[in-house]
């Protein structure tokens, strides 16, 4: 079962405690931290692999919606707010859901279940016989496009989309990098950066700062460097 690493960004202790208790009741959610302001959240996002943010809007220093705008590759977001008038702005930023305080547990469950609905709607695994090549189908412009796993060079996260690059083509599909990482974890793929997943067998060269695949330099993130070096030097 895929577990979503999440954080709470909330400056009201009681509100944060409610969401914390709700998260503890959902098996596929893993709480990684509680941030009382957006700047603390930015720091935590640089250190941890986070799939989901439970985000208040009215925060000190930097507002919740502004936080989303500052992130080049934001995780999925569920807004928790007492102010319904910001819902449209939230959905324009592609948030998963917009929860009004006080948040009821049943409504919370509906929101987090949308994570799995997104995953199911975005991709279907091609069930193949052992002799066939493993492949995945992805939604691309209202079509289902087959991508053979052994042809993938690297995958790049672009906010709520990912770009999958093979030797011959590149496709853009609405998907989360963390989800595809779990699906490909047994197929020799290595997370080298919060925005990049690469096929280890396709790496032509590497240094302490980047890997090279088919002439493209892909950066190694600071939080991934130790694991990447251990893996590639093994």
End of a domain among 57, 85, 120? 120
Of the residues 120, 153, 184, which one is the last residue of a structural domain? 120
Indicate if 9 and 69 belong to the same structural domain.
yes
- pLDDT value, residue 130: 40
The CATH number assigned to the domain holding 146 equals 2.40.50.1020
Same-domain pairing of 178 and 219: yes
pLDDT band at 131, cuts 50/70/90?
A: very low
The answer to whether residues 89 and 160 belong to one domain is: no
d(CA 189, CA 67): 30
Q: Cα dihedral angle (32, 38, 40, 41), rounded to 10 degrees?
A: 30
Please give the backbone phi and psi of residue 109, each rounded to the nearest 5 degrees, phi first: -65, -40
Verify that 87 and 173 share a domain, yes or no: no
Same domain membership, residue 108 and residue 165:
no
Where residue 102 sits, what CATH number does that domain have? 3.40.50.2300
Q: Which pLDDT does position 120 carry in this prediction?
A: 61
Give the pLDDT confidence of 22-80 residue by residue, as tens digits.
999 999 999 999 999 999 999 999 888 899 999 999 999 899 999 998 887 788 999 99
Q: Are residue 150 and residue 222 in the same domain, yes or no?
A: yes
Q: How many structural domains is the chain composed of?
A: 2
Q: Tell whether 8 and 116 lie within a shared domain.
A: yes
Asked if residue 53 and residue 134 are part of one domain, the reply reads: no
**CB burial class (10 A; 0-12, 13-18, 19+) of residue 132?**
exposed
pLDDT in the model for residue 123 = 55
Pair (143, 98) in one structural domain: no
Mean pLDDT of the 179-207 span: 90
Q: Which class for 128: exposed (0-12), middle (13-18), buried (19 or more C-beta within 10 A)?
A: exposed
pLDDT of residue 101: 94
Question: What are the residues whose beta carbons fall under 8 Å from the beta carbon of 62, sequence distance 6 or more?
Answer: 37, 38, 39, 70
Give the tens place of pLDDT for each residue, 15-33.
999 999 999 999 999 999 9
Structure-model confidence comparison of residues 19 and 138, the more confident one: 19
| pLDDT of 195 over the 60 cut | yes
pLDDT of residue 129: 40
115 and 173 inside one domain: no
Could you read off the pLDDT of 105-125 as tens digits, one per residue? 999 999 999 887 766 655 554
Of 87, 120, 153, the residue at which a domain comes to its end is: 120
If phi > 0 it is left, if psi is from -120 to 50 it is alpha, else beta; for residue 121 that is alpha
Q: What SS3 string covers the chain?
A: CCCEEEEEECCCHHHHHHHHHHHHCCCCEEEEEEECCHHHHHHHHHHCCCCEEEECCCCCCCCHHHHHHHCCCCCEEEEEECCHHHHHHHHHCCCCEEEECCCCHHHHHHHHHHHHHHHHHHEEECCCCCCCCCEEEEEECCEEEEEEHHHEEEEEEECCEEEEEECCCEEEEECCHHHHHHHCCCCCEEEEECCEEEEHHHCCEECCCEEEECCEEEECCHHHHHHHHHHHCC
Q: Give the chain's mean pLDDT.
A: 88
């Amino acid at each position: 079962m895929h577990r979503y690493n999440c954080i709470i960004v909330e400056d009201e202790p009681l509100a944060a405690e409610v969401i914390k208790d709700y998260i503890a009741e959902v098996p596929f959610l893993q709480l990684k931290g509680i941030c009382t302001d957006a700047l603390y959240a930015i720091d935590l996002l640089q250190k941890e692999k986070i799939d989901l943010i439970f985000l208040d809007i009215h925060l000190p220093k930097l507002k919740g919606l502004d936080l989303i705008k500052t992130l080049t590759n934001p995780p999925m977001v569920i807004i928790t707010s007492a102010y319904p008038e910001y819902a449209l702005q939230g959905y324009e930023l592609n948030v998963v859901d917009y929860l009004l305080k006080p948040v009821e547990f049943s409504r919370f469950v509906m929101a987090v279940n949308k994570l799995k609905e997104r995953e199911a709607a975005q991709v279907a695994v091609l069930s193949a016989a052992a002799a066939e090549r493993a492949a995945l189908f992805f939604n691309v412009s209202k079509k289902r496009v087959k991508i053979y796993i052994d042809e993938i060079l690297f995958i790049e996260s672009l906010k709520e989309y990912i770009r999958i690059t093979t030797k011959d083509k590149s496709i853009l599909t609405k998907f989360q990098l963390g989800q595809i990482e779990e699906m490909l974890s047994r197929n020799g793929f290595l997370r080298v950066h919060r925005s990049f997943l690469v096929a280890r067998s396709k790496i032509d060269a590497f240094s302490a700062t980047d890997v090279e695949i088919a002439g493209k330099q892909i950066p190694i993130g600071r939080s991934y460097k130790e694991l990447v070096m251990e893996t590639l030097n093994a």
